[in-house]
């Protein structure tokens, strides 16, 4: 008796609509939708609140330090810093050489980041509503592991999660989940 050969079924397409990548992406978009109105009310554009947060946490900062921390192109940071300076959120002074400058918060920037921090704390409260302290800690730990896995994968592919020659570093005292 001749055995029938069965061709493998076509792989199901569109599975990425319900994978971890998409779940994280959806959660991020929903989180941003919750905070966008506050950013607009504060006069801040996309990405600017996180730059202000970095400067608030680290004090006077260079474009390169900010770009390295967020793994983004320094020219994008430069444009954000120019806009934040025009908006009165930061003041810049010359750095160690003529190509660098140090950005620091103004009073307007401090007020904006205080309001932004309150908004983020509220959105975080909403995101983990119904979670126990242990579940919140587990979530933070798992997200840190995901981040580490992605950084390792980028390194294995010969791409850096930071700028060439720079190492990513968490702010001092920011190891693991904050209390």
Whether 88 maps to a domain, the answer reads: yes
User: Which domain does 159 fall in, by range?
Assistant: 131-165
Q: What per-residue confidence (pLDDT) applies to 62?
A: 94
- 101 and 66 housed in the same domain: yes
Q: How far is CA 141 from CA 9, 29, 117, 147, 177, in A?
A: 38, 21, 21, 10, 7
Check: CB of residue 50 under 8 Å from CB of residue 28. no
Q: What per-residue confidence (pLDDT) applies to 160?
A: 66
Q: What per-residue confidence (pLDDT) applies to 176?
A: 47
Q: What per-residue confidence (pLDDT) applies to 120?
A: 97
pLDDT per residue as tens, the chain (179 positions): 666 766 667 888 888 888 999 999 999 999 999 999 999 999 999 999 999 999 999 999 999 999 989 988 899 999 999 999 999 999 999 888 766 899 999 999 999 999 999 999 999 999 999 999 999 999 999 999 998 898 889 888 887 665 444 444 444 554 444 44
Whether 150 maps to a domain, the answer reads: yes
List own/partner pairs for 17-24 with CB under 8 A and 24 or more apart.
24/146
Q: Which of 127, 156, 174 is the last residue of a domain?
A: 127
- 146 and 79 housed in the same domain: no
- 101 and 68 housed in the same domain: yes
Q: What is the DSSP string of 111-169?
A: HHHHHHHHHHHHHHHHHTTT--HHHHHHHHHHHHHHHHHHHHHHHHTT--SS-TT----
Q: What is the pLDDT of residues 131-154, one digit of tens each?
A: 999 999 999 999 999 988 988 898
The domain total for the chain is 2
């Amino acid at each position: 008796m001749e055995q029938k050969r069965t061709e493998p079924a076509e792989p199901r397409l569109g599975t990425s609509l319900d994978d971890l990548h998409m779940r994280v992406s959806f959660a991020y978009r929903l989180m941003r939708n919750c905070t966008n109105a506050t950013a607009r009310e504060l006069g801040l554009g996309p990405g600017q609140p996180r730059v202000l947060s970095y400067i608030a946490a680290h004090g006077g900062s260079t474009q390169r330090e900010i770009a390295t921390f967020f793994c983004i192109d320094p020219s994008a940071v430069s444009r954000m810093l120019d806009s934040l300076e025009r908006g009165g959120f930061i003041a810049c002074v010359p750095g160690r050489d003529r190509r660098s400058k140090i950005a620091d918060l103004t009073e307007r920037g401090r007020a904006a980041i205080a309001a932004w921090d309150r908004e983020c704390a509220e959105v975080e409260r909403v995101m983990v509503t119904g979670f126990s302290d242990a579940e919140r800690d587990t979530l933070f730990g798992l997200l840190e592991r995901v981040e580490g896995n992605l950084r390792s994968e980028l390194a294995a592919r010969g791409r850096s999660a930071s700028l060439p020659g720079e190492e990513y570093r968490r702010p001092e005292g920011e190891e693991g989940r904050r209390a």
